[in-house]
Amino acid sequence: MNTQDINRRIRLVMDLRRKGIGDARVLGAMERVPRDEFVPAAVKDQAWDDMALPIGRGQTISQPYVVAAMTEALQLSDRDKVLEIGTGCGYQTAILAKLCRRVYTIERHKILLSRAEKMFEKLGLRNITAIAADGMLGWPKINGISQAPFDKIIVTAAAREKPPRALLDQLKIGGAMIIPVGPSGDQWLKLYKKESDEAYSVRDLMPVRFVPLLPDIASDSEGEAA
C-alpha cells in the first residue's frame, strides 16, 4: 500500500468520525478493508471518497458513511451470525466479516456474486458464505439444514413498504435488522428489533437512497447496460 492510499484511508476514517461514527471497531474495519479493491477501475481514484459509486448491473457500492452507520447501528459482536441481503461487490460483506462470527450473504446478480467471492478469497475472508438466491425469501435450507435464526440482518436494497416477512421470521428474538424502506425518493433507513415472535420495535435512522429490493435471481441480461 502506498503513502497516498494510507493517507486517503486515514482521511476517510477521520471524516466518518466527524460525521458521528463513534464505534472504534467499525472505524477500524472501515480502515482495514481496501475499498479500492471493490470498485471498477474507472472509479478507483474515487474509492476513498465518501460517496456511492457504480459497480455495474445498475448497482452501487454504498457511500462509506452509510456503510459505517448501518454497521454501527447493528451493534455487532464477534459472536453474531449475520444475514446480509444484497452482496453487491462484497464491500459491506467484508466489513461485517471483520466484526462478527459468520456472514451469510445473498446476491441476485450471479456475475456480481462471482466477483465478490473472488475478492473474499483474495482478502482471506474465510467466515463468509455467499449464494445466488432470492433474498426476499431469506436464507434457504441447504441439504435440509437451516441457518436461521440470525442474530442480525442487514438489507442493502430498499423494501417498498415494509420488510419481507421471511426476513423478520428468520431474525432471532432479541435480534436486530437494518433495512431501507420506502419508494424511490422517500426512503428511510429503519432499525427493527424483534421483541417476540409477533412484536417488533422500529426506529427511523436517516433518509437514504438505495436500489429497490427485488425478487428472484436476476437474468443474465438484467442491468447489463448499466
Beta strands at 128-132 and 102-107: parallel, antiparallel or unpaired: parallel
Rounded CA Rg of the chain: 17
For the question of residue 62 being annotated catalytic, the response is yes
Q: Is the dihedral of CA 153, 31, 40, 50 positive or negative?
A: positive
| Cell triple for 145 | 439444514
CA–CA separation, 34 and 135 (whole Å):
26
Answer yes or no: are the C-beta atoms of 133 and 113 closer than 8 Å: no
Give me the catalytic one of 62, 184, 196, 219.
Answer: 62
Q: To which H or E segment does residue 60 belong?
A: strand 59-61
What positions carry a catalytic annotation?
Answer: 62
